[in-house]
Amino acid sequence: MAIRNILFDFDGTLVDTNELIIQSFQYTYQTHLNKQVDREKIIKNFGEILKITVDREFGDVSDEAIKTYRSFQVGNFEKLITIRSGVKEGIIEFHNQGYKLGIVTSRLNDSAMRGLNHFGLVDYFESIVGADNTEIHKPDPTPAFMALKELKGKAEETMLVGDSPYDILCAKNAGITSVIVGWSALPMDMLLKYEPDYVVDSMEELVELVERLKD
């Protein structure tokens, strides 16, 4: 069945927030635990809900650590985020072709909107489901189902594009086509263990894939 709805993860998929997340964690580790943590350790937790990661890593000081983390992000947001070449053009093309677009993210809504506005993307999405909208997050299918309800879409006519195992599993649990992006910070061999339906290395490839699925 042809794809009519496309859901996107935000961090690392639409907007490259990798450096922002890494530096935010490094600053928080240094502030609260007087500890230097390498990038690879932080990247391994990409896609996980912030509170889960921080509760595990910071224990009794997790509440303060979350405040520190978010404060660092607010102060350094635009400075440390980028957008991959072709992403905005691909989103505009999907929108112009009549696809319904949504975002399913574990990032706080205000922060996600800040990133979308920064790169001029916000007007192309009919649904944005963020961390403020639900306490049940990826890999559970609930956020995807919430987006589909807003889009008035069917799971079998939908794909979810992301960069982590949480995105693949969310799609699978919702009965949605799963697509992983080749620009994920996570190792591709690890991601392939979760058996995404498709892998694309550019937005141009994603546009071509959706076109092929029309047939």
Residues 139, 170: contact at Cβ < 8 Å? Answer: yes
Mean pLDDT of 13-31: 97
Tokens 């993860």 belong to residue: 9
Residues marked active site are found at: 9
In tens, the pLDDT along 63-107 reads 999 999 999 999 999 999 999 989 999 999 999 999 999 999 999
Q: Provide the 3-class DSSP secondary structure of residue 105.
A: coil
pLDDT, residue 214, reads 81
**CB 40: neighbour CB atoms within 10 A?**
10
- Segments making up each domain of the chain, as ranges: 5-16+82-212, 18-80
Please name the fold of domain 18-80. Answer: DNA polymerase; domain 1 (1.10.150)
Which of these, 19, 13, 30, lies nearest to 88 by C-alpha position? 13
Geometric angle at alpha carbon 100, from 97 and 106, rounded to 5°: 135
Q: d(Cα 148, Cα 5) in Å, to the nearest integer?
A: 8
Residues 1, 37: contact at Cβ < 8 Å? Answer: no
Q: d(Cα 215, Cα 117) in Å, to the nearest integer?
A: 34
Geometric angle at alpha carbon 41, from 36 and 43, rounded to 5°: 120
Q: In terms of C-beta density within 10 A (0-12 exposed, 13-18 middle, 19 or more buried), how is residue 97 classed?
A: exposed
In tens, the pLDDT along 111-151 reads 999 999 999 999 999 999 999 999 999 999 999 999 999 99
Confidence of residue 24 (pLDDT cuts 50, 70, 90): very high
Specify the CATH number of the domain 5-16+82-212: 3.40.50.1000
Q: Could you give the C-alpha distances from 174 to 101, 108, 169, in angstroms and in order?
A: 17, 22, 8
- pTM, entire model: 0.94
pLDDT, residue 1, reads 67
Which of these, 163, 73, 139, lies nearest to 110 by C-alpha position? 73
In tens, the pLDDT along 166-215 reads 999 999 999 999 999 999 999 999 999 999 999 999 999 999 999 998 86
Confidence of residue 37 (pLDDT cuts 50, 70, 90): very high
**Percentage of the chain modeled with pLDDT above 90:** 96
